């Protein structure tokens, strides 16, 4: 019989993100409206209700912080930052810094952050490069220690970036993507929804949605089957995604031919997102890792209808 709460007193049916957020707040000071006397907060900053600002934080002018945010010690929020409610910023993070670009204009853009994000220690997020341009972070993302997000990036919702992930300028990361430790992404690249980018990957082309990129080779090695199952994708839907994957990577069709076939044969969501995402590519698509020997085969996860355990089958 499943228990209703775990040992930390957190409801068992909460999402992992919400559970982690609640436990993190429990380890901090009581979450009430409070500004530490050593914090430097500009009178031109707009601070919402129930905002906790810790020791030695710096809040510059032209900053908006919505209700319920929690800033630990030594957090810096720079001008041009617009922060939604219920975000957590841990020690040493610098939010809304100027773009790291030698051709930075005199007037730069801004930064918009949604709601419920967890931003761990020493994360840096830069503003948009030009006036009227923005860096945008969605809702309920987790950015672990040392993540850097450069100017004009767009990060969706429920994205997890582990330690020392680096995004160059104008990178797009769609919802539910996962980036492993020290992964580096070239400017203007895109990462599709539910993609899993392995640690130490170096992406110089777009990573399609739903796939896994191997950290050792920075090549695609199949679907992100485990991640898909964890996010509620059932067996028939995963099989549809596999069929679309084989058209793209295993059919020996030219790219345009493969995209045409995907558009005709897979018109229902979410599989239809494959061809929509890929047709917009400007930098090209990350290639599949090929066998090193003629007798080598790659295997991707498949699931039995009557069992949650999966078995490996060659494809």
Q: Active-site residue 151, yes or no? A: yes
CATH of domain 16-170: 2.160.10.10
Radius of gyration of the chain (CA): 21
> What does the pLDDT look like over 100-152, one tens digit per residue?
999 999 999 999 999 999 999 999 999 999 999 999 999 999 999 999 999 99
Backbone torsions φ then ψ of 13, nearest 5 degrees: -90, 5
Which CATH architecture group holds 228-314?
A: Up-down Bundle (1.20)
Give the pLDDT mean for 154-169.
98
Could you tell me if 112 and 87 are in contact, meaning their C-beta atoms sit under 8 angstroms apart?
A: no
> What does the pLDDT look like over 39-72, one tens digit per residue?
999 999 999 999 999 999 999 999 999 999 999 9
Q: Could you tell me which of 153, 143, 146 has the C-alpha nearest to residue 117?
A: 143
pLDDT for position 12: 53
Distance CA 138, CA 314 (A): 37
Q: Taking the C-alpha atoms of 9, 15, 17 and 23 in order, what is their torsion angle to the nearest 10 degrees? A: 0
Catalytic residue among 152, 175, 206, 214: 152
Catalytic residue among 68, 114, 138, 169: 169
> What does the pLDDT look like over 196-236, one tens digit per residue?
999 999 999 999 999 999 999 999 999 999 999 999 999 99
Catalytic residue among 151, 170, 273, 275: 151
Partnered with residue 191 across adjacent β-strands are: 173, 207
Q: Over 90: is that where the pLDDT of 5 sits?
A: no
Q: Active-site residue 293, yes or no? A: no
pTM for the full predicted model:
0.89
Q: Over 60: is that where the pLDDT of 301 sits?
A: no
For the chain, the structural domain boundaries read 16-170, 228-314
């Amino acid at each position: 019989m499943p228990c209703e709460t775990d040992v930390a007193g957190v409801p068992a049916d909460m999402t992992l993100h919400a559970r982690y957020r609640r436990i993190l707040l429990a380890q901090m000071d009581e979450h009430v409206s409070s500004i530490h006397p050593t914090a430097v907060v500009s009178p031109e900053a707009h601070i919402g209700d129930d905002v906790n600002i810790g020791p030695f934080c710096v809040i510059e002018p032209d900053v908006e912080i919505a209700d319920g945010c929690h800033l630990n010690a030594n957090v810096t929020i720079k001008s041009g930052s617009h922060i939604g409610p219920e975000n957590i910023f841990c020690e040493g993070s610098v939010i809304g810094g100027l773009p790291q670009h030698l051709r930075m204009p005199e007037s730069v853009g801004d930064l918009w952050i949604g709601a419920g994000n967890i931003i761990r220690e020493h994360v840096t997020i830069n503003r948009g490069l030009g006036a009227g341009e923005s860096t945008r972070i969605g809702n309920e993302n987790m950015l672990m220690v040392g993540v850097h997000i450069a100017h004009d990036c767009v990060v969706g919702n429920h994205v997890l970036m582990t330690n020392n992930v680096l995004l160059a300028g104008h990178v797009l990361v769609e919802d539910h993507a996962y980036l492993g430790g020290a992964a580096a992404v070239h400017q203007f690249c895109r990462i599709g929804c539910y993609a899993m980018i392995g640690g130490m990957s170096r992406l110089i082309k777009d990573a399609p949605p739903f796939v896994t990129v191997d950290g050792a080779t920075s090549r695609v090695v199949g679907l992100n089957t485990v991640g898909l199952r964890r996010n509620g994708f059932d067996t028939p839907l995963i099989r549809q995604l596999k069929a679309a994957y084989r058209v793209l990577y295993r059919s020996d069709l030219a790219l345009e031919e493969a995209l045409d076939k995907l558009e005709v044969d897979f018109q229902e969501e979410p599989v239809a997102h494959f061809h929509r995402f890929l047709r917009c590519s400007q930098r090209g698509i990350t290639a599949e890792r090929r066998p090193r020997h003629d007798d080598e085969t790659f295997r991707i996860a498949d699931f039995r209808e009557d069992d949650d355990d999966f078995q490996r089958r060659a494809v």
